């Protein structure tokens, strides 16, 4: 059965977004590294909090040249990570003191971590789906060539409510096979239309791995292709 184009778009989008976010994470990482190397430190004090639902500290410090600088922290949180009057260490660029950050792990590394972390998750989902589909394709090819062929009994057609694309759920054909008193249940690949009216036979062929009944492929080539 054909996989809907929307499914391929989803795989592509997850992978592409993941790569983009990982790249952004590396850019933030490099920028933060460069900032730390070029910066000098000064004592600062939290003079105010900015925000409504989450709060970021407003910090004031004095540069080596005596200039008073006020800046907002990069990360906001609830509850606030700092309190008014709290002393902090500030990193700033001497030639551009408005480029300043509180010297803390969260304030310096939050953006590289969050961008890279989310990117890895997105890329992992997209690439994981790709790897699974590749593995499944090779397994089906092997089973078609050297799998043990059994004739299973048709049980029913199920709606796969665990998956939906564009609000549409696929269907699965369920069959069973009794071997030596043990009933084995098999499920077809996802079918993107209701195949109920096209299942007229009582027996459906399944190819199984000779060493494991859990590795199998149901032959549903008798179904018409979706238009």
Q: What gap in Å lies between CA 112 and CA 106, rounded to an integer?
A: 10
The structure tokens 């098999």 sit at: 186
The string of DSSP codes covering 93-151 is ETTEEEEEEESSHHHHHHHHHHHHHHHHHHHHHHHHHHHHHHHHHHHHHHHHHHPEEEE
Report if pTM > 0.85.
no
Residue 147, token pair as written in the block: 């799998």
pLDDT for 36? 96
What is the chain's pLDDT, residue by residue, as a tens digit (227 residues)? 556 666 778 888 999 999 999 999 999 999 999 999 999 999 999 999 998 889 999 999 999 999 999 999 999 999 999 999 999 999 999 999 999 999 999 999 999 999 999 999 999 999 998 898 899 999 999 999 999 999 999 999 999 999 888 888 999 999 999 998 999 999 999 999 999 999 999 999 999 999 999 999 999 999 998 76
**Three-state SS at 20:** helix
Cβ atoms of 70 and 88 closer than 8 Å: no
Query: What is residue 225's predicted lDDT score, i.e. its pLDDT?
Result: 84
The pLDDT of residue 199 is 95
End-to-end CA distance of the chain: 11
Please provide residue 214's backbone torsions phi and psi, each rounded to the nearest 5 degrees. Answer: -75, -20
pLDDT for residue 11? 84
Are 55 and 80 in contact by the 8 Å Cβ rule? The answer is yes
pLDDT of residue 27: 96
What pLDDT is recorded for position 4?
A: 61
Report the distance separating Cα 220 and Cα 190, nearest Å.
Answer: 10
Query: Pick from 56, 43, 108, 65: which is nearest to 83 by CA?
Result: 56
Q: Would you tell me how many other CB atoms lie within 10 Å of the CB of residue 95?
A: 7
Q: Are 102 and 57 in contact (CB under 8 A)?
A: yes
- Residue recorded with tokens 């902090």: 88
Strand duo 96-102 + 87-93: pairing: antiparallel
pLDDT of res. 1: 56
Ranges of each domain in the chain: 5-113, 147-218
Q: Residue 133: what pLDDT?
A: 87
């Amino acid at each position: 059965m054909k996989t809907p184009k929307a499914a391929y778009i989803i795989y592509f989008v997850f992978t592409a977004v993941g790569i983009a976010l990982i790249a952004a994470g590396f850019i933030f990482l490099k920028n933060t590294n460069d900032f730390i190397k070029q910066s000098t430190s000064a004592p600062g004090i939290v003079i105010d909090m900015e925000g409504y639902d989450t709060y970021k500290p407003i910090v004031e410090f004095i540069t080596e040249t005596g200039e008073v600088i006020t800046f907002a922290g990069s990360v906001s949180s609830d509850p606030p990570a700092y309190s008014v009057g709290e002393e902090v260490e500030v990193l700033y660029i001497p030639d551009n003191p408005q480029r300043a950050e509180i010297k803390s792990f969260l304030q310096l590394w939050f953006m590289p971590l969050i961008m890279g972390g989310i990117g890895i998750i997105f890329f992992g989902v997209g690439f994981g789906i790709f790897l699974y589909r590749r593995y499944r394709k090779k397994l089906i090819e092997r089973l078609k060539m050297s799998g043990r062929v059994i004739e299973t009994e048709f049980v029913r057609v199920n709606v796969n409510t665990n998956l939906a694309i564009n609000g549409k759920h696929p269907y699965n054909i369920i069959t069973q096979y009794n071997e030596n008193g043990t009933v084995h249940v098999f499920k077809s690949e996802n079918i993107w239309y209701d195949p109920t009216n096209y299942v007229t036979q009582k027996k459906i062929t399944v190819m199984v791995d000779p060493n494991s009944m859990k590795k199998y492929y149901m032959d549903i080539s008798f179904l018409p292709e979706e238009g």
